[in-house]
């Protein structure tokens, strides 16, 4: 018998983590996370405790779902994520988790439901389509071996690069402003609060070693890149990989080689720390055509 119950704050974190780690262990971009890391996530200013459900089949832990509502969004969109432990897949649990999450989003005042699915899990995509979800976006993970980084490819050599200084409030405010300016035309984007930016810089549970660099031209900061290292990921996967977690250039300054310069600088900073490769996530439909920049430098999906 399938039992669906709500997540209990301060009680069910170990259960939630157990399901995620079991369900996603074969994903190349996933590494096991800990209860302590989830507790750090819960300190995020917009962490959503509500809408979380745990599925148990005959008393055994089987899956979880989250009907996520971002309270700062004004468009009535909620997001569904669901995971089922491999041995329990194909028994209808996925459908019941999604339907439970859909009802929850409606109760929470949402008018549109979005869902995320890994492209390798065709059964999940087909299930969502039977529930009338429409395919609207594709994202890719891209990687680069530092031995294959292309140089002298039009990088702007007039721009200066300087690091963000975390002890300067004006630098954090600048970073927040640049993020919002450079991402405003992106799909589903809503402005990031200054509090969220601070939390990411000081309390990120995964990228504990990270750096942000600004591109400066004629005394004005016009772009940025953020890179970091997840040491636990590297230990688990037996790699020396860094991550480009964000990059952006003001619209008026694009197509002038600034993005290339930022990317090359960020990759070099990871190489200096002993990394041999880097990865990043990209929206394949990104309106800035960022994927072309990444491919130009040497990233491959």
CATH of the domain at 173: 3.40.630.30
CA distances from 61 to 42, 54, 96, 205 (A): 22, 8, 15, 26
Task: Give the model's pLDDT for residue 48.
Answer: 96
> Do 269 and 155 fall into the same domain?
yes
> Do 25 and 116 fall into the same domain?
yes
Report how many domains make up the chain.
Answer: 2
Contact 72, 46 (CB under 8 A): yes
Task: Give the model's pLDDT for residue 71.
Answer: 94
Q: Is pLDDT of 291 > 90?
A: yes
- State which of 108, 136, 164 marks the end of a domain: 136
Which residue do the tokens 């491959």 mark?
Answer: 300
Portion of the chain with pLDDT greater than 70, in percent? 100
> Do 117 and 30 fall into the same domain?
yes
Phi, psi (rounded to 5 degrees) for 101: -65, -40
- State which of 102, 136, 170 marks the end of a domain: 136
- State which of 113, 136, 159 marks the end of a domain: 136
Q: How many CB atoms lie within 10 A of CB 86?
A: 10
Q: How many CB atoms lie within 10 A of CB 269?
A: 17
258 — pLDDT class (breaks 50, 70, 90): very high
> Do 158 and 54 fall into the same domain?
no
Task: Give the model's pLDDT for residue 1.
Answer: 94
> Do 100 and 39 fall into the same domain?
yes
CA distances from 79 to 16, 89, 170, 212 (A): 17, 21, 33, 29
> Do 107 and 216 fall into the same domain?
no
Average pLDDT of the chain is 97
> Do 132 and 172 fall into the same domain?
no
> Do 201 and 260 fall into the same domain?
yes
> Do 147 and 224 fall into the same domain?
yes
Q: Is pLDDT of 118 > 90?
A: no
Task: Give the model's pLDDT for residue 68.
Answer: 98
Residues 188-202, mean pLDDT to the nearest whole number: 96
Q: Is pLDDT of 287 > 90?
A: no
> What residue numbers bound the domain in which 36 lies?
2-136
> Do 157 and 276 fall into the same domain?
yes
Q: Is pLDDT of 34 > 90?
A: yes
Residues 204-223, mean pLDDT to the nearest whole number: 96
Mean pLDDT is lowest, of 3-12, 46-55, 283-292, for 283-292
Task: Give the model's pLDDT for residue 164.
Answer: 99
72 — pLDDT class (breaks 50, 70, 90): very high
Distance CA 287, CA 22 (A): 35
Task: Give the model's pLDDT for residue 81.
Answer: 98
Q: Is pLDDT of 21 > 90?
A: yes
Q: Is pLDDT of 45 > 90?
A: yes
Q: Which of 204, 178, 201, 202 has the alpha carbon at shortest distance from 191? A: 178
Task: Give the model's pLDDT for residue 4.
Answer: 98
> Do 289 and 209 fall into the same domain?
yes
Q: Is pLDDT of 153 > 90?
A: yes
Contact 260, 297 (CB under 8 A): yes
| pTM score, whole prediction | 0.94
Distance CA 74, CA 187 (A): 14
Distance CA 151, CA 136 (A): 35
Distance CA 27, CA 237 (A): 11
Q: Is pLDDT of 58 > 90?
A: yes
> Do 98 and 169 fall into the same domain?
no
């Amino acid at each position: 018998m399938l039992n669906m119950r709500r997540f209990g704050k301060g009680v069910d974190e170990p259960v939630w983590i157990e399901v995620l780690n079991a369900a996603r262990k074969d994903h190349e971009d996933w590494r096991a996370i800990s209860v302590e890391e989830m507790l750090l996530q819960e300190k995020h200013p917009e962490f959503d405790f509500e809408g979380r459900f745990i599925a148990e089949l005959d008393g055994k832990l089987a899956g979880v779902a989250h009907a996520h509502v971002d309270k700062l969004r004004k468009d009535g969109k909620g997001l569904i994520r669901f995971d089922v432990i491999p041995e329990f897949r194909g028994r209808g649990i996925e459908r019941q988790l999604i339907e439970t999450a859909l009802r929850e989003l409606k109760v929470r005042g949402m008018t549109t439901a979005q869902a995320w699915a890994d492209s390798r899990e065709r059964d999940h995509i087909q299930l969502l389509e039977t529930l009338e979800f429409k395919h609207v976006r594709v994202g890719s993970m891209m990687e680069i071996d530092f031995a294959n980084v292309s140089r002298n490819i039009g990088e702007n050599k007039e721009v200066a690069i300087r690091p963000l200084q975390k002890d300067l409030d004006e630098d954090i405010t600048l970073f927040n402003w640049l993020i919002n300016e450079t991402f405003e035309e992106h799909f589903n984007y809503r402005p990031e609060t200054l509090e969220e930016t601070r939390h990411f810089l000081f309390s990120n549970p995964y990228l504990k070693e990270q750096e942000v660099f600004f591109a400066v031209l004629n005394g004005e900061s016009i772009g940025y890149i953020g890179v970091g290292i997840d040491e636990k990921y590297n230990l688990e996967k037996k790699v020396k990989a860094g991550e480009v977690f964000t990059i952006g250039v003001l619209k008026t300054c694009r197509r002038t080689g600034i993005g290339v310069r930022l990317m090359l600088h960020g990759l070099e900073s990871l190489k200096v720390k002993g990394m041999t490769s880097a990865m990043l996530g990209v929206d394949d439909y990104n309106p800035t055509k960022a994927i072309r920049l990444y491919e130009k430098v040497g990233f491959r999906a």
